[in-house]
Structure 1
């Protein structure tokens, strides 16, 4: 029965109505799949415009319908159905990893918003462990940009990649990269934000900036030694606006400890972002304090 659907052979032609019944889809959905290149009829009668499908196409039709039940965008479904078996499974895994990351982030956001709406922010903040750490002075190569929240993730990734490449030619990267927020970055406020990579050779870094860094206003500066109050968060918690809960938790802890904030807040990225899963720790949300 491997080459048959019910008692109909795979190569048998079916009207769109009969095929839709077998595939458990509507004729409207089949027409949409045709327009998008997901499932074309085996034959279209030039005189009447009637569409005919082969019985063997039922499996693909059902596959498309099942992928739609995952809320997979049609463009990504097209990639899956046109790929070979191994690659199609990999594309499905990649899509589902994106879904899980998004849901994990939304779960964090829901908890944060529930606390805001009920006036129980402290219940949310209490889920974050805040500590302090002393950090040595360091020389950093930096890139600054005014950016809104929706543009921020892409810019952070690109700018840190550029700066790490520069640092490798200037004695190497000496510590975790970080992003400093000199003003609020949100849907309405554009910062600026400053991407920073600690570098080994200050003179080489200044020469690099003079020769190659002018287009992006890359510069070198000394970051003083000091103490940071920080909380460690997962990849899912980094996304805006759920990351606001982590910043709020650190600020509340600082106030409770009677400490004073001495500089702009920052995010310290200590893990391989691409390799990390949604629940893996990747970032410290921190404030300089005394």
Structure 2
């Protein structure tokens, strides 16, 4: 034994000085977050060094940030700089969730109060004329929970092919929803990248055979009614408010929706924060 109990603090004394309960200390020991300096073989009593108080208080502070115990356990094995970076990544995720929830709460408040028109007024809706383009696309049946992974993965596949095989990217990546995508309905959704060389794109897509679900089609010239939204607002179901606002605006303007709704991603997603604008929510329209 390298230490004698008299040199250490009992679990009760240590808990009081660290501002933690003995129950919490026993849990942290089981999880490998904060092991006692010594456990008496006969009595099973735990003893701690005074130098461990700072570690114990750090664990308690991390818990006040609602960091899961598993995340704290992972941080316990890191040096100071890497632990700080891990905390930064965790808190960035928390802030993103808060931004999403704030948007959702605002939307639900409008729905519950019957003031949907006031909610829709927070979205500025415009129209834009889009020229004919040729798109390389990938279609999937996906649920709402699968979209955050599938959309960027499909965009990466399509954009790489467009750059390497199809003469380049002609316009921003967009996703068309040919049917509802919710937790209960799986679309399908179509991920599209406009390409410069349609013939090269067709040859490349045909060569993939069963290795990919790629196709090339012509997107006719059309007019879009759209509203620009932030990264936080893209999350389901918050994004539904934006779609509803565009539809309501189009009806007020006497426009007819002529095709399925879509999302146009015009900037670097990974480089943007929750409040940065990243996407246009749109419907093809005609009339007026």
Name the TM-score class by shorter chain: over 0.9
Q: Does 1:93 align with 2:88?
A: yes
Q: 1:4 matched to which residue of 2?
A: none
What does residue 35 of structure 1 align with? 30
* Structure 1 residue 155 corresponds to structure 2 residue 147: no
Matches of 1:168 and 1:140 in 2, distance apart?
13
1:170-211 CA-partner distances (Å, limit 9, x unpaired): 212121100000001111111111111111222222222222
Match of 2:3 in 1: none
**1: CA distance, partners of 2:90 / 2:29:** 23
Name the counterpart of 2:104.
109
Per the alignment, residue 25 of structure 1 pairs with 20
In 1, the alpha carbon distance for the partners of 2:138 and 2:171 equals 17
Deviations 1:64-91 (A, max 9, x none): 1001001111122223333222222222
In the alignment, does 2:139 pair up with 1:144? yes
CA distance in 1 between partners of 2:95 and 2:282 (Å)? 26
2:241 maps to 245
SS of the aligned residue for 1:131 comes to strand
d(CA) in 1 for partners of 2:259 and 2:134?
Answer: 17
- Decide which of 174, 193, 200 is 1:197's aligned counterpart: 193
How many Å separate the matches in 2 of 1:43 and 1:288? 70
Provide the C-alpha distance between the structure 1 equivalents of 2:33 and 2:209, rounded to a whole number of angstroms.
46
Q: Give the counterpart of 1:208 among 199, 204, 215.
A: 204
Q: Please state how far the C-alpha of 1:46 moved relative to its aligned partner.
A: 2.7
Partners of 1:60 and 1:213 in 2: how far apart?
A: 57
Please state if 1:62 is matched with 2:57: yes
Report the equivalent of 1:223: 219
Q: Give the superposed CA RMSD.
A: 1.4
Q: Deviations over 1:122-146 (max 9, x none)?
A: 0100000000011111111111111
- For residue 33 of structure 1, report the CA deviation from its aligned partner: 1.1
Alpha carbons of structure 1 residues 147 and 52: separation in structure 2 relative to 1, 3 Å:
same
- In structure 2, stretches of 5+ residues that fail to align are 1-5
> Partners in 2 of 1:211 and 1:12 — Cα distance?
74
Q: Is the 8 A contact 1:16 1:51 kept in 2?
A: yes
Aligned length: 280
Q: Is the 8 A contact 1:213 1:219 kept in 2?
A: no
- Work out the CA distance in 1 between the residues paired with 2:78 and 2:170: 43
Query: For the Cα contact (< 8 Å) 1:12–1:55, is it kept in 2?
Result: no
Distance 2:7 2:215 in 1: 69
- Mean Cα displacement is larger for which, 266-275 or 207-216? 207-216
Deviation at 1:233, TM superposition (A): 0.1
CA distance in 1, matches of 2:149, 2:143: 11
Equivalent residue number for residue 168 of structure 1: 163
- Deviation by residue 1:90-109 (Cα, 9 ceiling, x = unmatched): 22222111111111111111
Please give the alpha-carbon distance, in whole angstroms, between the structure 1 residues aligned to 2:202 and 2:41. Answer: 70
Q: Which residue of 2 aligns with 1:124?
A: 119
> Taking structure 2 as the reference length, what is the TM-score of the superposition?
0.93
